[in-house]
Structure 1
Amino acid sequence: MLCSQGVAAPLMLSSLMLHLTWASLNPGCVKVSDILSCSNLGLEQVPKQLPATAATLDFNHNHLVQLEEGSFAGLPHLVTLRLAHNRLSNLSPGTFRNTSGLRHLDLSSNQLHKVDNYYFQELVSMEELLLFNNQIVRVESNALISLINLRKAYLSHNRLTDFPFFSIQEHSHHFLVTLDLSSNRMPKLPLEDIAALPASVQGGVFLHNNSLICECAMYGMFRQWEQKGFLSVKDYREEHTCLVYGEPRASVQFLEHSRFFENCSIKAQGLLGDAENNLHVIAGDPAVLECQTSLRGQHLIYQWVSPHQEYIAPPGNNNAMRMYANGSLEILEARIEDSGVYWCMVLDRLQSRNETWEVNVTVTMRDHVVEPFNTGFTTLLGCVVSLVLVLMYLYLTPCRCWCRKQPPPATPSPANECSAQSSILTPTPPATTEGPGRKAGNHSIVPDVWTTVSSPP
């Protein structure tokens, strides 16, 4: 016990001396566990000596103008770096050398003018990149190519007039779900490049508050995103504006007021709808969603995303959906709430490629045809019953003249014939009405028949 204490004591003392030495060189910084905060200290450069155990560095709200090459080298555990609200106008080559484990980088609210190709080429583990509220006018075509694990990129509130959508349409960013390009100065959008983006990326592209010129194809794309329930449109509906004839003073909220696009052709509005597969299902029935892909091989990985942003992987989930080896997704018993757009993502890890496929599922209640059948059957049954009653009346009605003895008539007369059929079916009364109990006239044939029958012999 004494020996172990004797060994541990020098190590603790050495660590304490190192911490005191570092603190004396960086007054005002606060270190808690693996977090180092040097925010709001008026620093003009990053301290030369940084603790090797730091996982989070916070240099927000300082006066940093430039970052030197290898400013953050020697920090093997660095995961988060915050450099917001400084005066950085560019990044030197090699700034993030030997920081491949960095996953969260905040460069927002600086004075960056562009995003060059070499800025982030070492950051292969990057997941979240914040570049909003700068002065960026251009993003180079390969600036994000190395960020293969990127999930969220924020470039809003800049001065972008375009963006290289084609650089991420080759399915190089498997995990990208948010690309915020709102509040920039883009007049037109490369709709074909956007259409080539994976469906998971399209659902997270934010383009509101730009200087878009009103045109049918642009309007059709956003209308389709609205129908798919994309949050980028749903949550910022009123902030989607365009300029009529490019006139800055003629801005219109085109999702709220669509009368300017009433003459747009369906073809223009359906620009992104060619790759969709529509599936109609009756509630309660099973449905199989096929995942169509051009990728081939034994190393494909399939995954589905439901309309409720729920990831579904083999063998399925919640006993409501089942996945098969070929990527097909089966809805065991379709419900109304299962309606929406399903995304199938296919990943080929050997070739670092992936593809997506959309299936638009519409679940409706079963149409009941019982009512028309009942109406027809009831009508038919009524006709049969009516016919039976008529036949019974014609042939089974008792006639009293057959049961009573009547004096033979002096002369045969149609009036003395006891026939219910003649009484009912004779359309015109006889011209002569001789006989007992008859009156001359052309009216009341049936009452006269009953009078003759009921008179005593």
Structure 2
Amino acid sequence: MCICASNIVSCSKVNLTGVPNDLPNYTSVLDLSFNNISGLRAQWTKHKLPNLHNLLLSHNRLNFLSSEAFVFVKQLRYLDLSSNLLRQLDEFIFEPLIHLEVLLLYNNHISQIDRTAFSGLNSLQKLYLSQNLVSRFPSELIKDKSRPERMRLLDLSSNRIKVLPIADLQALSAWVKDGMYFHNNTLICDCELYSLMAHWYIRRLNSAVDFKDDHTCVHPSPEKRVLRVYDLNTHMNCSTFKETDEEFYLDQTIILRCDTRHRDMSKTWMLPGNIILTPGNNQSYNVDKDGSLKITSIKPEESGVYTCFAVSEYLNETLYVVVKVHNFTINGNNDSLNTAYTTLVGCLASVVLVLIYLYLTPCRCFCCPDQGKSKNLHEDSIHSSMLSATPTHEDMATKAELNRHVAFIDPKDLQGQNGKVNPNGEEEVDEEAMQGKGKRKKSVADSISSVFSDTPIVV
């Protein structure tokens, strides 16, 4: 009933209800499409098929897949299970297929996908899950730690997904986004969804451009209106999307990505001022293996437009990255704030100390000796020695009681500097000083012109 052509076995459209038992071990392509096979059990082949790399089971009545269905066909690279009756994908169902590159599951009734269903598919490049009943976005397929490294197409269109993992989708490289399809779902409208798709459309990604009119969402209002995603800026007042500049700080080490729509492309960078970057041109610039540009200790004068030219056999692409460098370090604003705060506190402390000095001078206790002396004598002793420009004539013993020692500068020592001395060279004796207080030279008030010549010095 089957047609054998070298290593190809074609059993399509022969009304089979099960897989033929005696398949030759050299079979590399097995076509079982358009039959009535309802399940793929563990023993569907009696022996291993080490050369089988293409298995076609589309348009059957498959509703069951054994957890050991693929143990004997570990070399599969292409598996077509589309247009069947599958309802769920159990845990680790495809784990043995470490070489699988393309998996077709579209047009089934899949509503449940275990988070480990695609574990082990390290070589997977294309996964088609469109036209099912999937309500949860399988984010494990796009996260860094669990995402197949080579996967470049994920089709989840025409399902029942309501919410997308926006942050995870934004973090993907452009060559992955280019093959990320999720149109014709029941997504809830919001401005984050609009920004995501507007960005993809500006980048001319195939997933956004090819199905522009099919990207719709449901308005969260009670009417549940269906709107085009690209019209949300008018219906929900979302901000018009605009590419933002890259902002950095002085002496930061930065990495500029050349985020192309194809993975393997030859990339060349041009610096601001139309300077082509060549190996060894500048030690501050280094191009990584993936084409990213690394700049160490960036300076404000290095701000400008950086251009990446990407070339492949089928595509040429030019990307522009606008860089702005602030003239302070990443912690510069905090340091300025701390300095201003410290200065303010210092000023307030100084004001408080001045007020204390002027108005809160410690009072003299009443238990001190000679407390009966007149108030005027004490005030004269204190204020004249500290504030008056003219020395007072009071008892020196009273000054000693207050623990303040006052010395006056002899006008003779200042002759020819700031004042003039008595022209007669005579020394007048203070009469009050002669009355039991000892002799003291009396300074002539009009002979001293500078306040520094007769201001008392507190020792």
Q: C-alpha separation between the residues in 1 aligned to 2:38 and 2:78?
A: 21
1:34 is aligned to 2:15: no
1:244 is aligned to 2:226: no
Q: Which residue of structure 1 lines up, in the alignment, with residue 203 of structure 2?
A: 228
Contact 1:243/1:252 (<8 A) preserved:
yes
Say which of 40, 47, 60 aligns to 2:33. Answer: 60
Contact 2:232/2:238 (<8 A) preserved:
no
SS at match of 2:217: strand
1:327 is aligned to 2:297: no
What is the Cα deviation at residue 252 of structure 1? Answer: 1.6
Q: C-alpha separation between the residues in 2 aligned to 1:221 and 1:305?
A: 16
Letter in 2 for 1:228: R
What is the Cα deviation at residue 249 of structure 1? Answer: 5.8
Q: Which residue of structure 2 lines up, in the alignment, with residue 21 of structure 1?
A: none
Contact 1:203/1:230 (<8 A) preserved:
yes
Contact 2:91/2:116 (<8 A) preserved:
yes
Say which of 76, 86, 106 aligns to 1:102. Answer: 76
Deviation per CA, 1:235-287: give whole Å up to 9, x if none.
000001111226676212222574113x2257xx68xx89x8599xxxxxxxx
Q: Number of matched residues?
A: 286
What is the Cα deviation at residue 199 of structure 1? Answer: 4.0
What is the Cα deviation at residue 92 of structure 1? Answer: 0.8
Contact 1:305/1:311 (<8 A) preserved:
no
Q: Summarize the Cα distance change of 1:341–1:314 in structure 2 as closer, same or farther, 3 Å threshold.
A: closer
Q: C-alpha separation between the residues in 1 aligned to 2:109 and 2:226?
A: 24
> Radius of gyration: which is bigger?
2
Contact 1:71/1:96 (<8 A) preserved:
no
Deviation per CA, 1:289-317: give whole Å up to 9, x if none.
x8569xxxxxxxxxx7645x36225999x
Contact 2:267/2:310 (<8 A) preserved:
no
Q: Does 230-239 or 138-147 show the bigger shift?
A: 138-147
Q: C-alpha separation between the residues in 1 aligned to 2:124 and 2:197?
A: 25
Q: C-alpha separation between the residues in 2 aligned to 1:150 and 1:322?
A: 36
Q: Which residue of structure 1 lines up, in the alignment, with residue 167 of structure 2?
A: 192
Q: Summarize the Cα distance change of 1:246–1:84 in structure 2 as closer, same or farther, 3 Å threshold.
A: farther
Q: C-alpha separation between the residues in 1 aligned to 2:278 and 2:188?
A: 45
Q: Summarize the Cα distance change of 1:277–1:42 in structure 2 as closer, same or farther, 3 Å threshold.
A: farther
Q: C-alpha separation between the residues in 1 aligned to 2:73 and 2:120?
A: 14
SS at match of 2:127: strand
Q: Does 58-67 or 187-196 show the bigger shift?
A: 187-196
Q: Summarize the Cα distance change of 1:315–1:212 in structure 2 as closer, same or farther, 3 Å threshold.
A: closer
Q: C-alpha separation between the residues in 2 aligned to 1:131 and 1:278?
A: 43
Q: Summarize the Cα distance change of 1:330–1:213 in structure 2 as closer, same or farther, 3 Å threshold.
A: closer
Contact 1:278/1:361 (<8 A) preserved:
no
What is the Cα deviation at residue 222 of structure 1? Answer: 0.9
What is the Cα deviation at residue 99 of structure 1? Answer: 1.5
Q: C-alpha separation between the residues in 2 aligned to 1:128 and 1:247?
A: 41
Letter in 1 for 2:189: C
Say which of 138, 156, 170 aligns to 1:181. Answer: 156
Say which of 234, 238, 258 aligns to 1:259. Answer: 234
SS at match of 1:166: helix
1:361 is aligned to 2:320: yes
Q: Which residue of structure 2 lines up, in the alignment, with residue 148 of structure 1?
A: 122
Q: C-alpha separation between the residues in 2 aligned to 1:33 and 1:99?
A: 19
Q: Which residue of structure 1 lines up, in the alignment, with residue 265 of structure 2?
A: 312
Contact 1:88/1:111 (<8 A) preserved:
yes
What is the Cα deviation at residue 330 of structure 1? Answer: 9.2
Q: Which residue of structure 2 lines up, in the alignment, with residue 138 of structure 1?
A: 112
Q: C-alpha separation between the residues in 1 aligned to 2:63 and 2:128?
A: 17
Q: C-alpha separation between the residues in 1 aligned to 2:292 and 2:169?
A: 29
Q: Which residue of structure 2 lines up, in the alignment, with residue 202 of structure 1?
A: 177
Q: Which residue of structure 2 lines up, in the alignment, with residue 87 of structure 1?
A: 61
Deviation per CA, 1:329-375: give whole Å up to 9, x if none.
499xxxxxx978979xxxxxxxxxxxxxxx95169xxxxxxxxxxxx
Q: Summarize the Cα distance change of 1:328–1:118 in structure 2 as closer, same or farther, 3 Å threshold.
A: closer
1:51 is aligned to 2:13: no
SS at match of 2:39: coil
Q: Summarize the Cα distance change of 1:329–1:122 in structure 2 as closer, same or farther, 3 Å threshold.
A: closer
Contact 1:39/1:58 (<8 A) preserved:
yes
What is the Cα deviation at residue 327 of structure 1? Answer: 3.0
Letter in 2 for 1:165: S
Q: C-alpha separation between the residues in 1 aligned to 2:256 and 2:233?
A: 35
Q: Summarize the Cα distance change of 1:237–1:328 in structure 2 as closer, same or farther, 3 Å threshold.
A: closer
What is the Cα deviation at residue 211 of structure 1? Answer: 0.6
Contact 1:104/1:127 (<8 A) preserved:
yes
Q: C-alpha separation between the residues in 1 aligned to 2:127 and 2:166?
A: 20
Q: Which runs of 5 or more structure 2 residues have no equivalent in the other structure?
A: 249-253, 270-275, 280-285, 294-305, 312-317, 323-459
What is the Cα deviation at residue 174 of structure 1? Answer: 1.1
Q: Which runs of 5 or more structure 1 residues have no equivalent in the other structure?
A: 1-27, 280-289, 294-303, 332-337, 344-358, 364-457
Q: Summarize the Cα distance change of 1:315–1:201 in structure 2 as closer, same or farther, 3 Å threshold.
A: closer
Q: Which residue of structure 1 lines up, in the alignment, with residue 135 of structure 2?
A: 161
Q: C-alpha separation between the residues in 1 aligned to 2:33 and 2:264?
A: 35
